[in-house]
A and B are shown apart, each in its own frame.
Chain A
Amino acid sequence: MGLSLSPVSCLLSLNGHMSYEPVIGLEVHLQLRTATKLFCGCSTKFGAPPNSQTCPVCLGLPGVLPVLNERALEWGIKAALAFDCEITTRMKFDRKQYFYPDLPKNYQISQYDQPLCQHGHLDIEVNAQTKRIGITRIHLEEDAGKLLHEASQTESFVDLNRTGVPLLEIVSEPDLRSSDEAYQYLVELKAILQYLEVSTCNMEEGSLRCDTNVSLRKSDAEAFGTKVEVKNLNSFKAVKQALEYEIARQAVLLDRGERIVQETRLWDAKGQTTESMRSKEGAADYRYFPEPDLVPFVLDHSLIEQVRATLPELPQSRRTRFQEQYQLSAYDAQVLTQDRTLGELFEGALQAGAKPKPIANWIMGDLLGYLNAKGLEPEAVKLRPEWLAHLVELIDRGTISGKMAKDLFAQMLERGIDPVQLVQEGGWQQIVDVTALERLADDVLQANAKSVEDYHSGKVTALTHLMGQAMKLSKGKANPKHMTEILQRKLKENNSAREVRP
Chain B
Amino acid sequence: MASGELASKTIHELQALLRQKTISPLEILEDLLARIERFNPSLHPYLHVDPERLRLQLNDVSKRTGALAGIPITIKDNICITGEETSCASRILQGFRPPYDATVIERLRAQGAVFIPRANMDEFAFGSSTENSAFGVTRNPWDAERVPGGSSGGSAASVAADLAIAALGSDTGGSIRQPASFCGLVGLKPTYGRVSRYGLIAFASSLDQIGPLAKDVQDAAILLSVIAGHDPKDSTSAPVPVEECVASLKGVVKGLRIGVPSFTQEGLDPDVRHAIEEAVRVFERLGLKTERVELPHISHSVATYYIIATAEASSNLARYDGVQYGFRAAGDGGDGALLNMYLRTRTEGFGAESKRRILLGTYVLSQGYYDAYYLKGMKVRTLIKQDFDQAFQHCDVIVMPTAPSVAFRIGEKLSDPLQMYLSDIYTISANLAGIPALSMPCGFSKDQLPIGMQLLAAPFKEDFLLRVAHAYEQATEWHQRKPVLKGKT
Contact = CB atoms under 8 A, between A and B. Distances in A.
B399 to A, nearest CB: 30
A62 interface: yes
Nearest to A290: B378
Contacts of A289: 311, 315, 365, 370, 374
A292 B312 CA distance: 8
B365 A287 contact: yes
Contacts of B56: none
A26 interface: no
A97 B311 CA distance: 12
Contact of B319 (A60, A67, A293, A295): A60
A326 interface: no
A294 B88 CA distance: 24
Interface in A62-77: 62-68
Contacts of B370: 287-289
Given A62-B93, A67-B232, A293 B205 contact: yes
9 contacts: A62-B86, A62-B93, A63-B199, A97-B318, A154-B333, A285-B366, A287-B362, A287-B365, A292-B204
Given A97-B315, A287-B365, A63 B235 contact: no
Majority DSSP secondary structure for residues of B touching A:
loop
Interface string B167-200: 0000000000000000000000000000001111
B434 to A, nearest CB: 12
A104 interface: yes
Interface in A60-113: 60-68, 95, 97, 99, 101, 104-107
A233 to B, nearest CB: 25
B98 interface: yes
A64 B198 contact: yes
Interface of B: 79-80, 86, 88, 93, 96, 98-100, 102, 197-202, 204-206, 232-236, 311-312, 315, 318-321, 323-325, 333, 338, 342, 362, 365-367, 370, 374
Contacts of A106: 318-319, 321
Nearest to A67: B235
Nearest to B80: A63
Interface string A98-133: 010100111100000000000000000000000000
Contacts of B88: 62
Interface in A11-61: 56, 59-61
Interface string A388-421: 0000000000000000000000000000000000
Given A60-B319, A104-B323, A158-B323, A66 B235 contact: yes
Majority DSSP secondary structure for residues of A touching B:
loop
Nearest to B87: A62
Nearest to B205: A292
B333 A292 contact: no
A287 B366 contact: yes
B89 to A, nearest CB: 13
A66 B206 CA distance: 14
Contacts of B234: 65, 67
B321 A295 contact: no
Given A289-B311, A292-B312, A65 B319 contact: no
A62 B80 contact: yes
A11 to B, nearest CB: 40
B201 A62 contact: yes
B357 to A, nearest CB: 15
A137 B163 CA distance: 58
Contacts of A292: 204-206, 236, 312
Given A97-B315, A289-B370, A292-B312, A63 B201 contact: yes
A62 B342 CA distance: 17
B100 A56 contact: yes
Contacts of A105: 318-319
Contacts of B342: 99
B433 to A, nearest CB: 16
B477 to A, nearest CB: 39
Contact of B96 (A59, A62, A64, A107): A62
Contact of B323 (A61, A101, A293, A294): A101
Contacts of A154: 333
Given A63-B198, A64-B198, A287 B367 contact: yes
Contacts of A68: 235
Contacts of B362: 287
Contacts of A64: 198-199
B318 A65 contact: no
Given A62-B93, A63-B102, A295-B235, 14 more contacts: A60-B324, A61-B100, A61-B325, A62-B96, A62-B202, A62-B325, A63-B201, A65-B198, A101-B323, A106-B319, A287-B362, A289-B311, A293-B205, A294-B236
B318 A61 contact: no
The 7 closest A-B pairs by CB, nearest first: A106-B318, A292-B205, A287-B365, A62-B201, A292-B206, A285-B367, A63-B199
A188 B470 CA distance: 69
Contacts of B374: 289
Contacts of B312: 292
A107 B315 contact: yes
Nearest to A297: B235
B202 A99 contact: no
Given A63-B200, A287-B365, A293 B318 contact: no
Contacts of A101: 321, 323, 338
Contact of B235 (A61, A65, A95, A107): A65
B123 to A, nearest CB: 13
A110 to B, nearest CB: 13
A444 B357 CA distance: 98
Interface in A361-376: none
Given A56-B100, A101-B323, A63 B202 contact: yes
B77 to A, nearest CB: 11
A97 B364 CA distance: 13
Contacts of A293: 205, 235-236
Interface hub of A59, A65, A99 (most chain B Cβ within 10 A)? A65
A264 B197 CA distance: 41
Contacts of A287: 315, 362, 365-367, 370
